[in-house]
Amino acid sequence: LGLGIHQILFDKLTGDYYCRYRDQEGINKLTKFDSLEKLMKKVFHKRNLSHMIVQQGISLLRSEKRLIDFRVHTNKDEYGKWQVAAIAAKIAGQGSVTTHVNNGGVVKSLDELFENKDERELYEKRLSEVSLLLSSILEKNMEGIIGEIGFDLGIDKSGKVWIFEANSKPGRSIFKHPKLKNFDLLTRKLSLSFGIFLAEKAITAPEEIFK
> Does residue 208 carry a pLDDT above 90?
no
Cβ neighbours of 136 (radius 10 Å): 13
- The model carries a pTM of 0.86
Q: How many helices (H) and strands (E) does the chain have?
A: 5, 9
pLDDT at 1: 64
Residues 125-173: tens digit of each pLDDT: 999 999 999 999 999 999 889 999 999 999 999 999 999 999 988 888 8
Measured CA to CA in angstroms, residue 71 lies from 64, 174, 178 at distances of: 19, 8, 16
pLDDT at 88: 95
pLDDT at 19: 95
Give one DSSP letter per residue of 125-187, joined into a string: HHHHHHHHHHHHHHHHTSSS---EEEEEEEEBTTS-EEEEEEESS---GGGGSGGGHHHHHHH
